[in-house]
Amino acid sequence: MYIVVEGAIGVGKTSLCRILAEEFSATLNLEVVEENPFLAPFYQDPERFSFNVQTFFLLSRFKQLSNLAQQSLFDRAVVSDYLFDKDFIFASMNLRDAEFELYKDLYTHLKPQLRIPDLTIYLRADTPLLLERIAKRGREFERNIDPNYLKTLNAHYEDYFRGYTGDLLIIDALEFDYVENLFDRSKILELVRTASARGMSVGQELSSLASV
């Protein structure tokens, strides 16, 4: 089983991945954000550094996922805190014209070489909750992140998952405190077990998921 948790910046992907990896005795695959040397400059001057930051992430994530597949994907369960398509979501809002066309060419050649997740979990949250969680984790380069940027990012995530064709479980992050609340954690694990066993379509409504 290959499970991916996705969602906007600060939504709680990594925390949920750690819980799932422990529960299912799975290999934990976390993206390495801090190693991108262009990320801090990007938040200060997005127009100047957007191509640099996206290309670095694209190649870094491709290498990480390729190595993961060779080492463990077929030996044991894997839980990852990002889709390879994540970078395309960011690129589609950060890049323009010739830079975006060049990026798309790279992305199109790399994506077919990677395995599709058996289950993707999309964590949804509104902008105030994202800002609260970003402040709580205290990354220096995220300190002055623009709320409008997060709002736009959320809209891009919604557009992406509206057309997602794989098995998808949608969870409202505002409804579940799976870090501090053991009841909520148990409920999330039950949702994931059920979705893993039978698959859940992209048409599944959020309200019905929350009421399980």
CA distance 46 to 58: 17
What does the DSSP assignment read for 106-148?
Answer: HHHHHGGGSPPPSEEEEEE--HHHHHHHHHHHT-GGGTT--HH
The active-site residue, picked from 75, 81, 97, 146, is: 81
Q: Which band of pLDDT confidence, cut at 50, 70 and 90, is reported for residue 145?
A: confident
Q: Which band of pLDDT confidence, cut at 50, 70 and 90, is reported for residue 211?
A: very low
Q: Is residue 19 part of a domain?
A: no
Q: Is residue 18 part of a domain?
A: no
Q: Is residue 15 part of a domain?
A: no
Q: Is residue 89 part of a domain?
A: yes
- Choose from 6-10, 18-22, 201-205 the range with maximum mean pLDDT: 18-22
Q: Is residue 175 part of a domain?
A: yes
The first and second tokens of residue 165, run together, are 């064709």
Name the domain count of the chain: 1
Segment 99-106 shows an average pLDDT of: 96
Q: Is residue 43 part of a domain?
A: yes
Active site residue 177: no
- The domain in which residue 64 lies consists of 2-9+24-210
Q: Which band of pLDDT confidence, cut at 50, 70 and 90, is reported for residue 20?
A: very high
Q: What is the CATH number of the domain that holds 122?
A: 3.40.50.300
Q: Output the pLDDT for position 199.
A: 54
Q: Is residue 38 part of a domain?
A: yes
Instruction: Output the pTM of the full model.
Output: 0.84
Q: Is residue 17 part of a domain?
A: no
* Residue owning tokens 């991916």: 4
Q: Which residues pair with 27 in a beta bridge?
A: 78
CA distance 7 to 11: 6
- What rounded mean pLDDT belongs to the chain? 85
Q: Is the pLDDT of residue 12 over 60?
A: yes
CA distance 41 to 49: 7
